[in-house]
Amino acid sequence: MIRSDRGNNKNIVLHSNKLAEYYATNKTHWGDFYTSERIMMGETFKRCKAPFTVLDVGCACGGLANAIMEEGYQIKEYCGIDINYPCIEYASRFAGDYSFECRFICDDIVNVSSQKKYDVVICFGAADSNFDFKGILEQCWRFVKTDGCLIFSNRFTNGESIVDINKSYQIIDDETNEICPYNVLNFRDWISSLVKGLSDIIELNIYGYYGCPASSAVTPFKRACFATTGIYKTPISYHISGG
């Protein structure tokens, strides 16, 4: 039984204040992020021509902007988007505190029609925790500049993929009964989705490690590989056009 409000979107719209309460004080410093996330971000940022632009999909309270700045990377512009209004409301209070352009949007990424492109698009948890995994992935890739990178979190298994909230979900707020999907993908399914759904991939880097699901997850998986993927888009010099 789905106990969260999907509204008119394909994806769940979470209303709980508990997300903002948690992310206001968590995932705000570089060391708060998972090892796989830090490794992939660090490798990608070193390759970027500074200052660079960042789109953070599933930004929660925008802690990643602070973490990147504290680590000494030079950002030109940061845009955070999240489907949870309390998180965006909290994040927006501090948008003016940064030395770079910073803004926050409350929306479902699959509904955003902007043509703006970013050097780095980061998606930690947004696709892992909602219905339209494919739509989120493809939209994130659409926002990546030529010669840019998409950094994307994943949960992998050698078994069957489960992208079904009735079989695998995470409890967000036990008081309001809000839940979200807890998606776990077979690795080969993930590679297939990249090949079929994304064009102009020139390089793919993945770092991950096995661990137990979150205590708030209700899932048949006892262990999963928690990974972060860096997907690089073809530089313009590599494009081949027919004549």
Q: How far apart are the first and last CA of the chain?
A: 54
pLDDT tens column, 70-94: 999 999 999 999 999 999 999 999 9
pLDDT at site 236 = 57
The answer to whether residue 7 scores a pLDDT higher than 70 is no
Least confident of 2-6, 26-30, 132-136: 2-6
pLDDT at site 197 = 85
235 falls in which pLDDT band (50, 70, 90)? Answer: confident
Q: Classify domain 18-236 by CATH number.
A: 3.40.50.150
* Cβ atoms of 87 and 104 closer than 8 Å: no
User: Model pTM?
Assistant: 0.92
The answer to whether residue 6 scores a pLDDT higher than 50 is no
Write down the domain spans for the chain: 18-236
For residue 159, what are the CA distances in angstroms to 19, 34, 175, 188? 30, 24, 33, 10
* Kind and range of the H or E run holding 122: strand 118-123
pLDDT tens column, 145-176: 999 999 999 999 999 999 999 999 999 998 98
The answer to whether residue 52 scores a pLDDT higher than 80 is yes
Sort 199 into a burial class: Cβ within 10 Å, 0-12 / 13-18 / 19+: exposed
Cβ-count burial 85-121 (b if 16+ within 10 Å, e if not): bbbbebbbeeeeeeeeebebbbebbbeeeeeeebbbb
Q: What is the DSSP letter of 118?
A: E
pLDDT tens column, 193-231: 887 889 899 999 999 999 999 999 999 999 999 999 999
